[in-house]
Chains A and B, each alone.
Chain A
Amino acid sequence: MKKQKNIFPDLDFENEENTFKSIEVIQKEFFKKTIKTLLYILIVLAIYIIYSLITINPELFENTFIGLINQTYYSNFTIGWILFSTSTFLFVYFLKIIYLKYTPSLISFIKNESKNLGFDFKKEFNSGQVFLLLNSISISILIYIDLGLIEFEDNSVSSFFIFIFSAYLILCLVLPIILVLFDDKFIIQLKNDFYILFDFHFKIGKPKKDDSNLVGIHLTSNRLSPKNDRCGRVIHSKIAKRRWLSRRKKSKLNPYLHFYEFSTPLNFQKQFLNIALALTEWQSYYGSRILCFYARIPLNKVEVKERFLDYNKFFFAFN
């Protein structure tokens, strides 16, 4: 049997009526996705509570199906770990999808727009798959231990194994959470070292007629240079100002410079090309002797001869 392709409703932001219809579709999908994740968390928590009750008062569930499950070979630690890691990961994932609002049709819309420009819009990492992979390995090892297939007679080897395995268990949980928090984003790879990350934002409440920018797409470039690099700062500022790039202040803790751009679905292609061209300029000028030399003196003191080169097509990209 042929696998049925997922078809998402086409979003249209070309006029007010269709924009509101599209936003309703996005909001419905968002709520569906949120409720689905919430449901998963509740199921895992319910299992966790039932399991706790069984271990505290086993006689409560005697002669029941739940009581039978308790009589398995698996240790409390194995079951406890499965429940704990799953619920923790799902909870972090839940928070993330509330913050990063992307839905299937919105993704499909941006994918089509990017495709028209000849770019491939995809997810950088799938944290869910990383979590499943790492945890299935850890759970398999725990089951092997429970079944007595992994045993050590030598105490020092046993201690070393416990140490390594504990570190692995921590990694199993921490790594997917780090991926969810920082790298679980959609991306367009322009070149090896150049890419653009996407964040979506829209209001969760019912859209009103006078609402503006109902759906927003934040575009963030890759790291450009450290903030304390004077040359980088000057070129970044020159390009960002000239291209009217978004000047939103990101975390002060971030020690790197990035380009930021904001678009609505209507002007997505244009804004995307704007940030992509900013990156082409960055690659041309960062490290170039002329601009980095002049980074040491104020821009308004740059010699006229260099500016004249602008019209001799040397700086064609700065047109």
Chain B
Amino acid sequence: MSISFEEFIEKYYIDDFTKTFELKGQDKVNFYNDFNDIIKGIARIFDKLTNIASLRGGQVLMSLAKLEKSESVINKTDIKRNLNIDRLEKLFHAFDYLEENNYINIEKKTSKFHVIKLNEKDNPDFTLFREIIQKFWISPEEEEERVKKWRGMQ
């Protein structure tokens, strides 16, 4: 189980200003592992919360953040595929909501080809969000591939 934030602070005396904060060798590895555990836990929380909510907006944001790592141009179909959704109509409401609230920018190249981007300019927290998601989140598309690989289907 991942370490809690309070335990992390306590373990490395981060809030103790009487001691010098110095990490070497194994301690550095421990620190890195613990820090990764915390961020990994946050990514898991994002994943679960977006699946509990009935609007698919959270999932779209996560998928968009993930795809920005590998794709320079992302359209709605890429997100649909990444989220393993069978029909694009299921995401229309989420796209509208996210655009209306300035969470994403949609550039309409043609009537059917819409390029989507995370709006990091107006939402600075999205930079950290993107970094966490790109490093730790496993998209439904990747999950499906893993299960298929395990079954020997690929």
- The answer to whether A276 touches B44 (Cβ under 8 A) is no
Q: Which of B71-79, B99-107, B118-126, B137-145 contacts A (4 or more CB under 8 A)?
A: B137-145
Given A241-B1, A308-B29, CB of A117 within 8 Å of CB of B51: no
- The answer to whether B140 touches A304 (Cβ under 8 A) is no
- Among B33, B143, B153, which residue has its beta carbon within 8 angstroms of that of A118? B153
B19 interface residue per 8 A CB criterion: no
- The answer to whether A244 touches B44 (Cβ under 8 A) is yes
Q: Interface readout for B61-97 with A: 1 if CB under 8 Å, 0 if not?
A: 0000000000000000000000010100110010000
- The answer to whether A116 touches B86 (Cβ under 8 A) is yes
- The answer to whether A308 touches B144 (Cβ under 8 A) is no
Q: Which residue of B lies closest to A266 (CB)?
A: B54
Q: Which of A22-30, A144-152, A177-185, A267-275 contacts B (4 or more CB under 8 A)?
A: A267-275
- Among A116, A276, A308, A317, which residue has its beta carbon within 8 angstroms of that of B33? A308
- The answer to whether A304 touches B1 (Cβ under 8 A) is no
Q: Which residues of B contact A229 (CB under 8 A)?
A: none
- The answer to whether A14 touches B93 (Cβ under 8 A) is yes
Least Cβ–Cβ distance between A219 and chain B, in angstroms: 14
Least Cβ–Cβ distance between B124 and chain A, in angstroms: 27
- The answer to whether A118 touches B136 (Cβ under 8 A) is no
Given A304-B29, A307-B33, CB of A319 within 8 Å of CB of B147: no
The count of chain B contact residues (Cβ–Cβ below 8 Å) is: 30
Q: Which residues of B contact A238 (CB under 8 A)?
A: 1
- The answer to whether A118 touches B150 (Cβ under 8 A) is no
Assign chain A's interface to a size class: 20 to 34
- Among B1, B40, B48, which residue has its beta carbon within 8 angstroms of that of A244? B48
Q: How far is the CA of A181 from the CA of B132 in the complex (A)?
A: 46
Q: Which residues of A contact B89 (CB under 8 A)?
A: 14
- The answer to whether B33 touches A117 (Cβ under 8 A) is no
Given A14-B90, A270-B51, A273-B143, CB of A299 within 8 Å of CB of B1: yes
- The answer to whether B147 touches A277 (Cβ under 8 A) is yes
Q: Interface readout for B1-38 with A: 1 if CB under 8 Å, 0 if not?
A: 10000000000000000000000001001101100100
A310 interface residue per 8 A CB criterion: yes
B109 interface residue per 8 A CB criterion: no
Q: Which residues of A contact B84 (CB under 8 A)?
A: 116-117, 269-270, 273
- The answer to whether B29 touches A280 (Cβ under 8 A) is no
Least Cβ–Cβ distance between A6 and chain B, in angstroms: 21
B108 interface residue per 8 A CB criterion: no
Interface centre among B33, B52, B136, B143 (most CB of A within 10 A): B143
Q: Which residues of B contact A266 (CB under 8 A)?
A: 54
- The answer to whether B151 touches A190 (Cβ under 8 A) is yes
Q: How far is the CA of A308 from the CA of B36 in the complex (A)?
A: 10
Please, could you name 5 A-B residue pairs with CB atoms under 8 Å apart, sorted by A?
A: A118-B148, A304-B26, A308-B33, A311-B36, A319-B40
Q: Which residues of B contact A (CB under 8 A)?
A: 1, 26, 29-30, 32-33, 36, 40, 44, 48, 51-52, 54, 84, 86, 89-90, 93, 136, 138, 140, 143-144, 146-148, 150-153
Nearest 6 pairs of A and B residues by beta carbon: A273-B143, A280-B150, A267-B51, A276-B147, A116-B86, A270-B51
